[in-house]
Amino acid sequence: MGGATAAYLAATEPEYVSAAVLIEPIIFPPVVDDSSSDRRQREFVSGATRRRMVWPSRQELLRSYRRRLTFASWRDDVLRLYAEHGAFRRDDGQFELKCPGKIEAQAFQNSLSLDTWGVLPDIRCPTLVLHGQHTEHHLVLAARGVAERIPGAHLAAIAGAGHLVPMERPQAVVAEIMAFLGHGAGPK
């Protein structure tokens, strides 16, 4: 949702954005029958509100997340940093995620409240849209659609990555961004 927020800001308040990098922005075209969009939103909200929040130890949190498909391809050091900085030690010694599920659910509930798709053509700054090579097909199509609607946008796929590109292939993401900004030779 950060990419969608950045895109909306670049379109509506261009003085604040000199260049934009949108990593798998969750921005979809409006649909005539929005029941599938509503269903997807309800699934995200439901998943967030049911998310386990507390573990007896940081190691158990790491083991639990490593077994999940979403985190299966994250680098070990990145997952460890997520566990260290994304959770806090409670007074009872257990570890709790810093972002409560109800807050994440509210973000999902509000994610469709802006017409970000409609304002994409208003983006005038240099824009890079990234997606993972192995990302779900509908998200790749969304990234392509976003890049097509933004004048002059560049679309790039990060090899060997899925939806959570920065955590799976951080060096490749940095190389692509630096090349886009003119500070490097590009991805290797």
Give me the DSSP letters along 61-110: HHHHHHTSGGGTTS-HHHHHHHHHHSEEE-TTS-EEESS-HHHHHHHHHH
Kind and range of the H or E run holding 148? helix 137-149
- Kindly state the greatest CA–CA separation across the chain: 53
More confident: 82 or 33:
82
Which pLDDT band holds residue 132 (cuts at 50, 70, 90)? very high
Percent of the chain exceeding pLDDT 70 equals 87
Roughly how many angstroms between the first and final C-alpha of the chain, as a whole number? 28
Q: What is the mean pLDDT of residues 32-48?
A: 67
List pLDDT tens digits, range 138-170: 889 999 999 999 999 999 999 999 888 999 999
Residue 183's CB: how many other CB atoms inside 10 A? 10
**In angstroms, what CA-CA distances link 131 with 54, 72, 187?**
31, 18, 14
**pLDDT score at 123:** 98
The whole-number pLDDT of residue 184 equals 56
Domains of the chain: 2-30+115-181 (3.40.50.1820), 40-108 (no CATH)
Long-range contacts of 171-174 (CB under 8 A, 24+ apart): 173/23, 173/130
- The whole-number pLDDT of residue 157 equals 97
Contact 145, 29 (CB under 8 A): yes
